[in-house]
Structure 1
Amino acid sequence: MFINKKIIRAKFIRRPNRFQGYVLIDGNETLVHVPNTGRCKEILIPGATVVLREENNPLRKTKYDLIGAYKGQKFINIDSQIPNKVVEEALIHGKIEGLKEYTMVEREKTFGNSRFDFRLRNEADEEYYLEVKGVTLEENGETRFPDAPTERGRKHLLELIEVKNQGKGAGVLFLIQMEDVSYFTPNDDMDKAFGDALRLAYKNGVNIFAYDCSVGEDFITLKDRVSIRL
């Protein structure tokens, strides 16, 4: 997918809270929106080159969204709204191994007490529920999720087990919002309960996918399947 809005670069200064950041644009300190509730501490460091998407909505307090940053030479997209869009595009075009038979793609569907990112159906009207998690944490080719504790994420995994127990398909896809990575693993140091739930889900037949992306300042699309270490 392409980002059809104006993109500019800036220098990161600081992040006073989860949703706000200050950047330097043409020598002026400017408040921007950060569309990511994760910590991103290894990405959003003072002096880092960041990428902004211009919004120009008169109802907003900020003109720009901070959608990505350079970590050395590696560009990482951090927009938490992007993963579902990328995965939806990939599902429609049959690019995800193991899910190509599901040609009907619906967003934000409820099962029991839970709302999942996607409900898929095939020609036999069999259902498959898919949850998507965006991954931005990387170190020496190792990518991890989460970068902050996520009780909501753990509950999603347990609920996917229930989906599977009721005879339907269930999976979680970790979309790594960068290129050139080695493997994915749960971040037990940050949230052991999430890692335990992921391993339990796998043992109960929930599919676990990890894909990296072809990514640039104004585009991002699903690329290759990445190995998983549980």
Structure 2
Amino acid sequence: MIFRQLYEPLSSTYTYLLGCEETGLAILIDPVISAMERDLMEVKRLGLSLACTVDTHIHADHITAARELKKTVGSKIAMPAYDRLPCADIRIEEGTPLQIGSIVLQPLHTPGHTAGHFAYLFDDRIFTGDALLIEACGRTDFQNGDADALYKSVQEKLFTLPDDVLVYPAHDYKGRRVSSIAQEKERNPRLGGGKTLEEFREIMANLKLPYPTFIDYAVPGNRQCGVCPPDLPDQLATYCHQMTSSLQG
């Protein structure tokens, strides 16, 4: 299996490239439109063909590259079935694996950050989207977010995985790349260390986070599988421009 962790600095988003060495087919998890050319160059450099893009949820901080990648290379768009997006070619549901070549993703419905949020388990690692971050978690105050639901998703699904499963989140804002289920169960200040539901509710209710900069454009654009709005203000234009360089892991 070929694996790459790619980083988009504007939204601090990790995109994950999985490649099947037997078939030459590849999957991109949470691709970002502004980093699309970088991702395609990496797919080509590795001698792969992009078969499918997979999003963990409808993002509020960037535009997914799913639609543009389909237009460019013909890759299929996989999105959570919960969100009922007409643009999706594959509708992800828990209990139905997504297989591309030898790569088999096991979808886990992990609502709370958004109602339709999914994590994807693959062998010794899980791609947790915004449900579980490194020593943090996604916010629960928009897009039908629900602190109780997120607590249940993490405690009853993610934290019941084996301790040595690697945690690959959709974002990190401190340069960290990977964690583990054991580490998050012990050290996550919001959800680990035996935090009760009541403690988690209080933590999330008192985050006092600012209104997301790009949400009013990102959510409707992502409900179309990645459409940049025509009325994007100049100060937000970089969210849709193609990048010439990016940090890469």
TM-score, reference length from structure 2:
0.26
Indicate the structure with greater strand content: 1
The structure having more radius of gyration, on CA atoms, is: 1
TM-score, reference length from structure 1:
0.27
Indicate the structure with greater helix content: 2
Higher relative contact order (CA 8 A, sep 6+): 2
